Homo-oligomer: A and B are copies of this chain.
Amino acid sequence: MVSSTQIQLINRPAGWPTQDDFRTVTVELPDLAGDQVRVVNEFTSVDPYMRGRMNDVKSYIPPFVLGETMTGGAVGRVVESTADSHPVGSVVVHDLGWRDVAQGDASAFRVVEEIPGVPVSAYLGILGLTGLTAYVGLLHIAHMKPGDSVFISGAAGAVGTAAGQIARLEGASRVLGSAGSAEKVALLTDRYGYDIALDYKAAPIRKQLLEVAGDGIDVYFDNVGGDHLEAALAAMRNGGRAALCGAIAGYNATERVPGPDNMMNIISRGLTLQGFTLGNYTHVFPEFAAKMGPWLASGDVVHDETVVEGIENSVDAFLQLMRGGNVGKMLVKV
A interface with B by C-beta (< 8 Å): 52, 57-61, 225, 229-230, 238, 244-247, 250, 256-277, 280
Q: Which residues of B contact A230 (CB under 8 A)?
A: 259
- Chain B residue contacts of A280, Cβ below 8 A: 270
Other-chain contact of A273, B59, B225, B269, B273 (Cβ < 8 Å):
B273
Given contacts A256-B262, A259-B263, A261-B259, contact A268 B229 (CB under 8 A): no
| Sample (5) of A-B pairs whose CB atoms are under 8 Å apart | A246-B267, A247-B264, A258-B260, A260-B263, A273-B274
Nearest B residue (CB) for A53: B268
Does B266 contact A244, Cβ atoms closer than 8 Å? yes
Q: B residues within 8 A CB of A274?
A: 266, 270-273
- CB proximity of A260 to chain B, nearest CB, Å: 4
> Cα distance A198–B58 when bound, in Å?
24
Contact partner of A57 among B247, B263, B268, CB < 8 A?
A: B268
A307 CB to nearest B CB, Å: 27
Contacts of A57 in B (CB 8 A): 268
Evaluate contact between B272 and A238: CB separation under 8 angstroms. no
The CA of A274 and the CA of B143, in the complex, are separated in Å by: 14
Main secondary structure of the interface of A (DSSP, over half): loop
Distance to closest chain B CB from A47 (angstroms): 13
Interface contact A257-B261, CB-CB below 8 Å: yes
State the CA gap A260–B230 with chains docked (Å).
12
Residue ID in chain B nearest A261 by CB atoms: B256
Specify which chain B residues have a CB less than 8 angstroms from the CB of A263 in the assembled complex. Answer: 225, 229, 244, 247, 250, 259-260
Interface hub of A61, A274, A275 (most chain B Cβ within 10 A): A275
Report whether A264 and B250 are in contact in the complex, using a CB–CB cutoff of 8 Å: yes
Q: Could you tell me if A266 and B258 are in contact, using CB atoms closer than 8 angstroms? A: no
Report the nearest B residue to A225, measured CB to CB. Answer: B263
Q: How far is the CB of A270 from chain B (nearest CB, A)?
A: 5
CB neighbours (8 Å) of A268 from chain B are 52, 57-61, 275, 277
A51 to chain B, nearest CB (A): 11
Report B-chain residues with C-beta under 8 Å of the C-beta of A246: 267
Q: How far is the CB of A275 from chain B (nearest CB, A)?
A: 4
Bound state CA distance, A270 and B257, in angstroms? 19
Given A60-B238, A238-B60, A266:B261 Cβ within 8 A:
no
Q: Which of A52, A57, A245, A266 has the most CB of B within 10 A?
A: A266
Q: Is the CB of B260 within 8 A of A259?
A: yes
Q: How far is the CB of A290 from chain B (nearest CB, A)?
A: 25
Chain B nearest CB, measured from A253 CB (Å): 10
In the complex, A261 Cα to B52 Cα: how many Å?
A: 16
- In whole Å, how far is A26's beta carbon from the nearest beta carbon of chain B? 33
**Are B225 and A244 touching (Cβ within 8 A)?**
no
Which 10 residue pairs spanning A and B have beta carbons closest together? A259-B259, A258-B258, A266-B275, A59-B268, A267-B275, A256-B261, A272-B274, A259-B260, A273-B273, A259-B263
Q: Select the residue from A238, A260, A268, A274 with max chain B CB neighbours within 10 A.
A: A268
Q: Give the one of A57, A61, A250, A270 with max B CB within 10 A.
A: A270
